[in-house]
Structure 1
Amino acid sequence: MLELDVMPERSIGNEQWEFILGMHFSQAVLILQSQVGVIRGVQVKYSDSNPLSKDLELDLTNDGIRLKFDPICQRLKVIEVYNLKLVKLKYCGMVFNSSDVLPTMDQIEHSFGATLPGLYSPSTHDYVVYFRGVSFYFPVTKYQTGSPKFVNAPSPWASLITIYTGSSERAEETAPLPLCCYGGQVYLYRTGVLRDGRLRLCMYTTGATRSLEPKKENLNRTIGLGESAEAVTTALGSPNRVFFKSEDKMRIHSPSHHRRAASTTSDYFHNYFTLGLDVLFDAKTHKAKKFILHTNYPGHYNFNMYHRCEFLINLPVDRCAENDSPSIQVTAYTKWDTIADRLNVSPKPVVLNRASSINTKNFFGATLCYGYSNYIFEVMPNQHIASVTIYKAEDDS
């Protein structure tokens, strides 16, 4: 049985690890991977057909804990303890739930202090006691209006605990990424794609003050195709990983593929996972030849490898009805059918079926790649964009 500390409006955890409100989904997964054998029975839940309509969840079924992540920013917004029999809980060193200590209303008031009278929900038959950043749900059958006392019944036990930011769990705002979760990495606000193929990135990371306490620091950088690896690294910092291409599976679709001699060198990627960005460099010139922007949707082969790249691409439309805008804004949330209605995209897509060298099966299924101008859009079966590749048209890439 896990023994965890509850910190209202912040987290649940112990001395080894901590699930913190505002942390990214991938950071929570890293904790779970580090606790293999201790935390078991983890389920990932999401909507396959409409992943933006429901929360992204990590359900720790053997420990009765559910982590709810906002489907847009993919940061932790609510922590639920829904089976209190499976976990031991403390607050400020005082145990308020265990096999020996029952989480009754009297025990909660003793541990957390006094608060305003709770609210009764007739639909769920729950009496909810609110503290700032944490709520306790007590199932009841009889309730006397205007009094927290229950008629002819002992003090009920809490059946659900929720931890959240602010005074109400119904608030739609998700906590920002905590400074303690930065880990020396650079994170992305948004990326603007300029017409000449350059990327204008608005980022943030940790900076230092005179007192050496960490603080949030904003950064604005612009990188472009044709720039050297040194220039890109100077702008964005060291990549999280450098990956060398072993083969180019898309080369056969190039008009001049038969004229290309086998190369003794390999193009290579700079992977920036927290920016949702890959930069492909030419093996001979060491200049950027492609940018790949990832949307990190659940149900995709690369899900949880990248953070979502919040990009904005303005494209002139090929088909414009009366009173329609002459351009279309493409973001990480624009569905492909909306784009295809306005642009003359390639009618026959390329089928992309990813697989690793270890496991040749792709349980998420194939995606379709559509070309338009100097862009390649990778589209999932639910019509969401999985990635956008930007390249120079004259490269025949």
Structure 2
Amino acid sequence: MFSDLDVDVRPGSGIGMFELGSSLWTILDMLRRMQHVFPQVDVKYDPDASSTTPIILHLRPHIDLLFSGKHQRLRTICIRKLRDTSPPVTLRYKDAILSSPEEVLRRVGVSRTFGPTYQQNAGEDLRYPGIWFSFEEDGLVEGRAGTQSEDRMQEVKRVLVSQKEHDTQEGDALGEVAYCPVMDGDISLAVVKVSIRSSYTYKPALTSEAKVHDGVILHFYPSTAKPIHVRLGVTTAQDLMVDLGAPLRIHYKEDDRMTIHASSRRTDSADPGYFYNYFQHGLDFLLSGTTHVVKKIILHTNIPGSPLFQRYKRCNWEIEGKPEDDEDDTPPRKRFYDRFETTSHFLNPREQPPPSMLLDRTDEEDNVTLPSATTRLYGYDGIILEVSEASQIVSVTLF
């Protein structure tokens, strides 16, 4: 049974329970708990650009939520089919009712509530800072001929809310979201720094390989927040509790399939440890069961269509190398959306990708089928890349 939808409109900020700048993970997690209000949610994205695709959540029949492609932040909210009564929808602005089953929202009503705009031609959408009103179900209005009285009585078909900062950015409808307070406390960037180890082989040819045994530097919103350096073999469970708060889950079983990449001297069978799962940050930490220090760090990309999609929030990670010289202040980086072949060459520039291990995460789930359920694990010195069939990096493991 549908519930009535009664929401307030906040130009430049949000509509109802939906706040601009919220993460895709947060919104979907909220919708999962509100199935009585939104029983059906459609997730739409471009499978050919899965790591950077903008994502639309369609909450039938009234609401469309557009998320930015890289940071997966709510950028635009659209309320449509205002006259559809399944369920009926009521829009409020401050203390006034804009639209309801009894009140039809028309051009004259918008003008009375919000005042004049720069749009003067008959039939054009009415745009205000952070909100605009459309008189067509889909697409932009081209303008039409009509008398002034006819124009005044045009019925509003869609209401869209976006950040006020984007009103002046023409052609940036799919751009990223500007900082807003709802982001506070979220990780803005996770930086993995690598060094290049050089050695001579018997040929003797010089080979280079990335070495990662330090950890990750976590940057937060707002930008004035102090970064946190989580160090392998140093940071403790108590440190994580202090810096990141309590994990959403503590898991006491390690995935034995990962031990294929460990050398005999670093076999973890005697100390399987336990995981701190920070789904809200896109991070996992494996801690020693005896010393309680961090042994592994896993950063998740949250790619649509992958087996772990929506289990973790997207972690905006970068792998950073050393600058070529002391005067270079822009060290080379590989980011979460770079293809595997590019990142692999960055980690091991003189070699082909290492042998891989096949992983099917749906083996652990009942009644779950995905078109691309399998991934491959590629091991380097101190780092493991989990790669989809489309050469997108699904996760990065540091050990």
Q: TM-score per shorter chain, which class?
A: 0.7 to 0.9
Structure with greater contact order relative to length (CA < 8 Å, sep ≥ 6): 2
Asked if 1:353 corresponds to 2:360, the answer is: yes
Q: CA deviation at 1:77?
A: 0.6
Q: Which amino acid aligns with 1:375?
A: I
What is the match of residue 132 of structure 2? Answer: 135
What is the match of residue 332 of structure 1? Answer: 336
Gap change, CA 1:266 and 1:192, over 3 Å in 2: closer
Distance in 2 between the 1:251 and 1:202 partners?
26
What is the match of residue 39 of structure 2? Answer: 40
Distance in 2 between the 1:353 and 1:383 partners?
16
Counterpart of 1:201 (choices 217, 228, 246) is: 217
Gap change, CA 1:153 and 1:118, over 3 Å in 2: closer
Q: CA deviation at 1:24?
A: 0.9
- The answer to whether the Cα contact below 8 Å between 1:119 and 1:128 also exists between their aligned partners in 2 is no
Q: CA deviation at 1:328?
A: 6.0
Q: CA deviation at 1:54?
A: 3.8
Distance in 2 between the 1:338 and 1:269 partners?
30
Q: Which amino acid aligns with 1:159?
A: K
SS at match of 1:58: strand
What is the match of residue 320 of structure 1? Answer: none
Distance in 2 between the 1:166 and 1:88 partners?
23
Gap change, CA 1:279 and 1:156, over 3 Å in 2: same
What is the match of residue 198 of structure 2? Answer: none
Q: CA deviation at 1:48?
A: 1.6
- The answer to whether the Cα contact below 8 Å between 1:291 and 1:390 also exists between their aligned partners in 2 is yes
Q: CA deviation at 1:256?
A: 4.2
- The answer to whether the Cα contact below 8 Å between 2:259 and 2:268 also exists between their aligned partners in 1 is no
- The answer to whether the Cα contact below 8 Å between 1:143 and 1:149 also exists between their aligned partners in 2 is no
What is the match of residue 49 of structure 1? Answer: 48
Query: What does residue range 250-265 of structure 1 map to in structure 2 within 5 Å?
Result: 250-252=258-260, 256=264, 263=270
Q: Which amino acid aligns with 1:251?
A: T
Q: CA deviation at 1:174?
A: 4.1
Distance in 2 between the 1:338 and 1:285 partners?
37
- The answer to whether the Cα contact below 8 Å between 2:189 and 2:317 also exists between their aligned partners in 1 is no
- The answer to whether the Cα contact below 8 Å between 1:221 and 1:236 also exists between their aligned partners in 2 is no
Q: CA deviation at 1:94?
A: 1.4
Distance in 2 between the 1:347 and 1:190 partners?
25
SS at match of 1:106: helix
- The answer to whether the Cα contact below 8 Å between 1:22 and 1:76 also exists between their aligned partners in 2 is yes
- The answer to whether the Cα contact below 8 Å between 1:50 and 1:382 also exists between their aligned partners in 2 is no
Q: Which amino acid aligns with 2:302?
A: N
Q: CA deviation at 1:191?
A: 1.9
How big is each residue's C-alpha offset from its partner over 1:321-378, in whole Å with a ceiling of 9 and x where there is no partner?
xxxxxx9632111111323456424453211111375526342511111122322111
SS at match of 1:339: helix
Gap change, CA 1:118 and 1:45, over 3 Å in 2: farther
Counterpart of 2:387 (choices 376, 379, 384) is: 379
- The answer to whether the Cα contact below 8 Å between 1:106 and 1:155 also exists between their aligned partners in 2 is yes
**Percent identity of the aligned residues?**
25
SS at match of 2:26: helix
Counterpart of 1:276 (choices 282, 294, 305) is: 282
Query: What does residue range 1-397 of structure 1 map to in structure 2 within 5 Å?
Result: 1-13=4-16, 18-52=17-51, 54-62=53-61, 64-86=62-84, 87-118=89-120, 127-139=124-136, 143-144=144-145, 150=148, 155-166=153-164, 168-169=166-167, 171=169, 172=172, 174-176=176-178, 178-180=180-182, 182=184, 185-195=185-195, 196-204=212-220, 218-230=225-237, 232-233=239-240, 234-245=242-253, 247-252=255-260, 256=264, 263=270, 266-314=272-320, 329-340=333-344, 343=349, 344-355=351-362, 357=364, 359=366, 361-363=368-370, 364-391=372-399
Length, aligned pairs only: 355
Distance in 2 between the 1:370 and 1:245 partners?
22
How big is each residue's C-alpha offset from its partner over 1:292-322, in whole Å with a ceiling of 9 and x where there is no partner?
1111111122222323222222459xxxxxx
Q: Which amino acid aligns with 1:193?
A: K
Distance in 2 between the 1:312 and 1:142 partners?
46
Distance in 2 between the 1:362 and 1:66 partners?
26
- The answer to whether the Cα contact below 8 Å between 2:117 and 2:128 also exists between their aligned partners in 1 is yes
Gap change, CA 1:303 and 1:170, over 3 Å in 2: farther
How big is each residue's C-alpha offset from its partner over 1:214-237, in whole Å with a ceiling of 9 and x where there is no partner?
xx8502222222125246425544
Distance in 2 between the 1:174 and 1:254 partners?
39
- The answer to whether the Cα contact below 8 Å between 1:301 and 1:362 also exists between their aligned partners in 2 is no
Q: Which amino acid aligns with 1:288?
A: V
- 4-13 or 192-201, which deviates more: 192-201
- The answer to whether the Cα contact below 8 Å between 1:222 and 1:235 also exists between their aligned partners in 2 is no
User: For structure 2, which runs of at least 5 residues remain unmatched after alignment?
Assistant: 196-211, 323-330
Distance in 2 between the 1:357 and 1:202 partners?
31
Tell me the C-alpha RMSD between the 2 structures.
3.2
Distance in 2 between the 1:82 and 1:59 partners?
11
Q: CA deviation at 1:254?
A: 5.0
